Amino acid sequence: MVNSIAFIYSDQIDINNGTVLREIISHIEQKYMAFCFKRIQLISENDFVATLERTIGINMAAGIYSYYCKTDGSVVRLQDYTLGSALRDGFDFGGMVVVKSECAINAAMEVNPSLKKAAFYDFLLRLIPMGGIKIVPEPLYIMPDEKDHDFETKNFAYVDPRNREYQQECETVFKVVLEDMGAMLPEINKVPEDFNQEVNKFKNLVSVIIPVKNRESTIETALRSAAQQKTDFPYNIIVVDNHSTDHTPDVIAKMQGLYPNKIIRIVPDNNGFGIGGCWNLAIDHPECGAFAVQLDSDDGYSNENVLQTIADKFRKDKCAMLVGSYRLTNENFEPLDVPPITHSEYTPENGHNNLLRVNGVGAPRCFFTPVIRQIRFPNVSYGEDYAVALRISGEYKVSRIFDVLYNCRRWSGNSDANPSHEAQIRNNYVKDLFRERELSRRYTIINYPDEI
């Protein structure tokens, strides 16, 4: 029965080359094609083919992928491949994707043959209208254990200059697919109405927003970084202490004593607030400034003029959102041996569209308070910033500062430091859901504007 499947191994055939991919697919005569990214062993050939036939038939799918077993017999579960997850490149299918040959041939005909690095991403996107790839929530094969790449390396691969050619190809592919979907937005230059008049309504021009929970070892450095800013305008720091159980409240009180009338501490009424909900409490505070500027409780600004730089850029561009660039550092704020994270892929012409594909927009993230008060953050503790960046960028101009404004500290206490496999699935699912919702919203804006 397994003779009905052609096995294509990516370590032997460059499936990311458009010409090669189209050529190999055109010569397959079997009913199915299995694209194997690792060396795998089917647990049961008969069960594998039966499950393949059943899943594709019931779901009217173009193909499948499945859970798998490690050599010790433990099962590795994978994330559901939704529309939102299909938009981003690099989805984790495990060791194999099996595609119905009829669908593969039709999809390959649309793949750009000039692609050198992103042809398989193009191929997968072309399968979406044919039913897409469906997950089989049971292990169908064994894959030998391998040492995984460092999470940091994978997480920031899309901003690594060494991957720029690949990312540019992915962006080109994605633009075509968005156009085909009817969800490609033109360049956006809209600014908030009555910008200057709205700014003048605020007592403070800037508020630094710091959600925090149990960061007694880092919150003082973050607060000092914010409190020592030099500006020609009034600003404050709003700390949302989400029911810390360590000495974080004591450290905040100490810093309030050192910087009188500069630091405001808010404690939520209950324990139901995620980071997004804490942000909403801060921006709703009557002392919140016209520009709300992010600072994580374990990070710091790169110099004492950051807030002045941000405010000047806001007032010049009259934008709804502003994003800076950052440097990765160790626990002692010593720079790591990696280039600054500038997110230079975010261009005025297409950054707002490409953001649906990539995983982030940069830091610090800064918001025009009247706009963010209307849009608001989802009450989650991962991806809340990505969600509002998607939403704002789909309607308003987003300005960029490519100078380093922010030091992002990588240490064992980071909430995203080497997350478990299960945590990565949860985190990716949240962002993929936000992608899918924003894609739907943009499609409606373009095709049914009267319904928005």
CATH of the domain at 402: 3.90.550.10
125 and 209 inside one domain: no
Q: Which pLDDT belongs to residue 149?
A: 54
Q: Which pLDDT belongs to residue 415?
A: 61
List Cβ neighbours of 159 (8 Å cut-off, separation of 6 or more).
Answer: 341, 342, 343, 345
What DSSP letter does each residue of 272-320 carry, written as one string? ---HHHHHHHHHHSTT--SEEEE--TT-EESSTTHHHHHHHHHHHHT-S
Please report whether residue 181 resides in a domain. no
Region of residue 323 (left: phi > 0; alpha: psi -120 to 50; beta: else): beta
Q: Which pLDDT belongs to residue 161?
A: 65
241 and 133 inside one domain: no
The residue to which tokens 């009555």 are assigned: 194
Q: Which pLDDT belongs to residue 412?
A: 73
- Which parts of 355-415 fold into alpha helices (H)? 369-375, 384-393
205 and 139 inside one domain: no
Q: Which pLDDT belongs to residue 33?
A: 97
277 and 421 inside one domain: yes
Q: Which two tokens stand for residue 328?
A: 């990765």
Please report whether residue 314 resides in a domain. yes
392 and 312 inside one domain: yes
140 and 205 inside one domain: no
Please report whether residue 419 resides in a domain. yes
144 and 199 inside one domain: no
Q: Which pLDDT belongs to residue 154?
A: 57
68 and 201 inside one domain: no
Q: Which pLDDT belongs to residue 3?
A: 87
124 and 253 inside one domain: no
Please report whether residue 209 resides in a domain. yes
How confident is the model over 142-153, as pLDDT tens digits? Answer: 998 876 555 555
Q: How far is CA 117 from the centre of its chain?
A: 21
276 and 346 inside one domain: yes
Q: Provide the domain count of the chain.
A: 2
Please report whether residue 62 resides in a domain. yes
Which domain-ending residue is among 148, 176, 207?
Answer: 148
Please report whether residue 175 resides in a domain. no
143 and 220 inside one domain: no
Q: Which pLDDT belongs to residue 135?
A: 96
Rounded to two decimals, the pTM is: 0.93
Please report whether residue 173 resides in a domain. no
Q: Which pLDDT belongs to residue 163?
A: 80
Q: Which pLDDT belongs to residue 93?
A: 97
Cβ atoms within 10 Å of 54's Cβ, excluding its own: 12
What range defines the domain where residue 142 resides?
2-148
Q: pLDDT in tens for each of the 452 residues of the chain?
A: 578 999 999 999 999 999 999 999 999 999 999 999 999 999 999 999 999 999 998 889 999 999 999 999 999 999 999 999 999 999 999 999 999 999 999 999 999 999 999 999 999 999 999 999 999 999 999 998 876 555 555 555 656 667 889 999 999 999 999 999 999 999 999 999 999 999 999 999 999 999 999 999 999 999 999 999 999 999 999 999 999 999 999 999 999 999 999 999 999 999 999 999 999 999 999 999 999 999 999 999 999 999 999 999 999 999 999 999 999 999 999 999 989 999 988 999 999 999 999 999 999 999 999 999 999 999 999 999 999 999 999 999 999 999 999 999 987 766 666 789 999 999 999 999 999 999 999 999 999 988 76
Ordered strands of the 206-212 beta sheet: 263-266, 235-241, 206-212, 291-294, 365-368, 321-329, 398-409, 300-301
Please report whether residue 232 resides in a domain. yes
223 and 321 inside one domain: yes
